[in-house]
Amino acid sequence: MKNLAVLTSGGDASGMNAAIRAVVRTGQARGMNTWGVFQGYSGLIEGNFKRLGTRDVSNIIQRGGTILGSARCPEFRTEEGVELAIRRLRGAGIDGLVVIGGNGSQTGANALHKMGFPVVGVASTIDNDLYGSEVTIGVDTALNVALNAIDNLKVTASSHNRALMVEVMGRKCGYLALMAGIAGGAEAVVLPEIDVVPEQLAERIQDVYERGKPHAIVVVAEGAKYNAAGLCEYFEQHNLLRGYEFRSTVLGYVQRGAVPTCADRLLGTRLGSEAAEQIIAGKHGVLVGCSHGELITTPLEEVVTGEKPLPPWFLKAADMFAR
């Protein structure tokens, strides 16, 4: 193996650039030529490759997003698309590929693996829903952005005696909402994993008001049955809340593009470097992740079929501390 490539795919996550940098520099330290694939799997099919040297990845570790870009690629979901991508890679003399991304990205990596091309995945998604890693690149930064917003919104909510429904990202996983809710001292969290009964939620908020709190914060995961605006509308239509004014706020993409935290820079560096080491050593068809502070590998087939539950203790804590 002499030529190693790296691509990023799916939603951007702060810390991806640290992982790219680590792949390139680890590859070079092991005598490899390293290549960047631009615009994800779309660039893979188009042969959008560029040789990356040490200087090309200088001064990127502190940047959010991904210098390689990302794009949707319906063509890659077909067998013909995967075969074309492999022809592009082999035609460029590339011997192995590191894929940095979440569920969809690793599904693509597994498709390449099943067709015989050496590939290793790196766990990267702010949703933290990827099986095979306790925490993924981008999660810590996204949580800190959400937490800062909740802290600021709490000030305004207290000033105006309001109940705020704060919607955070996470697709169908409630991890971001759960952790931000606990760390932000929210009065309730609304998760996709647990059916919410609006009447019961309203009772909890009403109880908070009657106990004299000047505000109530409810953190809502975007994939929940009712989103933030939907809850406000339901409360208003059914006249469920008295006392507080209520508003909804959607944080949205602001959670993605922040300057990566120290934790995400270090995690991206560790996972990217280990992915390069794995593929250079001839070990591929796996995802590099982290569990209890240690690096682990999980077969890609398990990654794309496995489900990652929310941490049980934190589920209990969210209810216990929301008083």
Q: How confident is the prediction along the chain (323 residues), in pLDDT tens digits per residue?
A: 899 999 999 999 999 999 999 999 999 999 999 999 999 999 999 999 999 999 999 999 999 999 999 988 999 999 999 999 999 999 999 999 999 999 999 999 999 999 999 999 999 999 999 999 999 999 999 999 999 999 999 999 999 999 999 999 998 999 999 999 999 999 999 999 998 899 999 999 999 999 999 999 999 999 999 999 999 999 999 988 788 988 999 999 999 989 999 999 999 999 999 999 999 999 999 999 999 999 999 999 999 999 999 999 998 888 777 66
CA dist 166 → 136, 219, 259 (Å): 23, 5, 22
Same domain for 250 and 280, yes or no, is: no
Q: Domain limits at 100?
A: 3-138+260-305
Q: 50 near 299, Cβ under 8 Å?
A: no
Question: Is residue 275 domain-resident?
Answer: yes
User: What HEC string does 110-135 produce?
Assistant: HHHHHCCCCEEEEEECCCCCCCCCCC
Question: Is residue 322 domain-resident?
Answer: no
Q: 170 near 103, Cβ under 8 Å?
A: no
CATH number at residue 88: 3.40.50.450
Same domain for 10 and 76, yes or no, is: yes
Question: Is residue 323 domain-resident?
Answer: no
CA dist 296 → 62, 200, 287, 289 (Å): 25, 41, 8, 5
State the DSSP H helix or E strand holding residue 60, giving kind and residue range, or none if neither.
none
Same domain for 132 and 272, yes or no, is: yes
CA nearest to 71, candidates 44, 51, 92, 96: 44
Question: Is residue 20 domain-resident?
Answer: yes
Same domain for 80 and 155, yes or no, is: no
Same domain for 10 and 131, yes or no, is: yes
Same domain for 282 and 150, yes or no, is: no
Q: Which of 127, 129, 140, 264 is catalytic?
A: 127
Same domain for 102 and 163, yes or no, is: no
The domain tally of the chain equals 2
Residue 127 is a catalytic residue: yes
Same domain for 157 and 296, yes or no, is: no
Q: 94 near 117, Cβ under 8 Å?
A: no
Q: What is the pLDDT of residue 309?
A: 93
